[in-house]
Structure 1
């Protein structure tokens, strides 16, 4: 079974928060998870 992580992207101009750091997303992918933004 594949683990899918669905992450919302920023929606407002200039928004500085992120739901998932790219380095963490890469780690999840290396563990076999599918990361969708």
Structure 2
């Protein structure tokens, strides 16, 4: 169980680092890929 928790934390940390290192999206792209029912 500890190994699974450790791997999960590693994946989360990698995702956070990627997000923080990525540029801010262009405001015109903010509604792209957002699901909405008609």
TM-score range relative to shorter protein: 0.3 to 0.5
**Structure number having the greater helix percentage:** 2
**Structure number having the greater strand percentage:** 1
| Greater RCO (CA < 8 Å, at least 6 residues apart) | 1
Superposition TM-score, scaled by structure 2 size: 0.31
